[in-house]
Amino acid sequence: MINLKDTILTNCIIHKVGNKVKAESIKLSKNELSLNEDMERQLRDYFLKPFATPGDTFHFHHDIKLKMNEVYTCSDDIFEDEDFVKTSMDIANHLYQQTRHPAIKSGELFIALFDEIMIDNAICSGLGIFKSERKENFFKTTESDKGIGLVMDSGLSQQKLDKGCLILNDAAHEGFKVFSYEHNNADTEYWRNDFLGITLKHDTYFQTKEFLSICKDFVKERLPGEFEVTKADQIDLLNKSVDYFKNTKEFKTNDFANAVLGEPELIKSFKKYKGEYEKENDLDIDDSFSISNQAVKTQAKTFKSILKLDKNFHIYIHGNKNMIQHGVEKDGRKFYKIYYNEEK
């Protein structure tokens, strides 16, 4: 779990990285920014806002040797107190070399060093690499002897960081812990793969998220084709899946299957689907793992518990499916019968 509440921005420098394919230049700064207290606070919030809510954790990798990953090596040098300015230039030059497509936008590249980052109840430093590409128009007033005038200008918006990564000085031998952000998931291939060279860590967040994704896809895609189920039955299974993860600390496949699925044929179908899913997506989800509460919270938002009936009714199903029954009238009209104990 990451906590950025007390994080301090200690060093920061800006470079301008153009698109090499379009013959745009790269402009490197020779000096760090000199920041007052207020600017340091605003820049820190601007940089770290996308990482306030924990998500997937990545780590640097390389097919041959980890030290051949340029950003990993530069990060390690900075954490080992190598020349911050010179190493930031190396990072900017590496990014410039990766602009292999004309659609990649030029922009300001911020390299920032942080301290007092809390991760898993331990404090560490961190390196941030952030790129701002989009500009925002704004009005600026001017004053002269004749009065006050108005001109339009453009600049960076504090709400529009385009790409960023936060590299924690933790687990260096495994490629550090890295969090990555891309606005609207734009240029993920260029940013994560070509520039950073990172891959997902198969930690508890990843395992929890992926297993819940399998549950959701199984219920929505495979279940209706193999079993006679209503939409209410599907929603009930989704609710049971989320409830299991919310109320359990250690996940075990067999425990989940018995508690949520119950029926042998349903369990057999699910395990087969899980195997196919893992093979198709090149995954290997453990049979047991610690459950990430943050992953459960994130995934639960995608589990829809709304039963939509034509354009007339929406029924929200949160609990006992025995309180709702499905049927068909003699004239072919379908219906749901709902039982309740009290009206609120």
Amino acid identity for residue 249 in this structure: K
More confident residue, 77 or 228: 77
Confidence category of residue 61, pLDDT binned at 50, 70, 90: very high
**Whole-angstrom Cα distance, residue 108 to residue 130?**
8
Exposed, middle or buried by CB within 10 Å (0-12, 13-18, 19+), for 278? middle
Three-state secondary-structure class, residue 247 = coil
CA distance 131 to 232: 46
Query: Coil, strand, or helix at residue 31?
Result: coil
Neighbours of 119 (CB within 10 A): 19
Region 15-30: what's the mean pLDDT?
94
Cα(27)–Cα(88) distance, rounded to whole angstroms? Answer: 12
Q: What is the pTM of this model?
A: 0.78
Residue 62: count of CB within 10 angstroms of its CB: 14
Strand, helix or coil at 152? strand
Helix, strand, coil share of the chain (percent; to 5): 40, 30, 35
pLDDT at 65: 94
Q: What local confidence, expressed as pLDDT, does residue 53 receive?
A: 79
SS3 160: coil
Say what the alpha-carbon torsion angle 146, 150, 155, 159 is, to the nearest 10 degrees. Answer: 130
- Arithmetic mean of pLDDT, 137-155: 77
Cα(178)–Cα(196) distance, integer angstroms: 10
Summarize the confidence of residues 74-80 as an average pLDDT. Answer: 96
Tokens of 308: 């939509």
pLDDT digits (tens, 9 = 90+) for 33-44: 998 999 899 899
- Burial category of 1 from C-beta neighbours within 10 Å (exposed 0-12, middle 13-18, buried 19 and up): exposed
Q: What is the pLDDT of residues 287-340, one digit of tens each?
A: 899 999 889 988 887 776 665 666 666 666 666 666 677 777 778 787 777 767
**Rounded distance between C-alpha atoms, residue 27 and residue 14, angstroms:** 9
Mean pLDDT over each residue of the chain, to the nearest integer: 87
Strand partners, 139: 152
Q: Which residue has the tokens 């550090």?
A: 176
Q: What is the pLDDT of residues 202-237, one digit of tens each?
A: 889 999 999 999 999 998 888 888 888 778 788 888
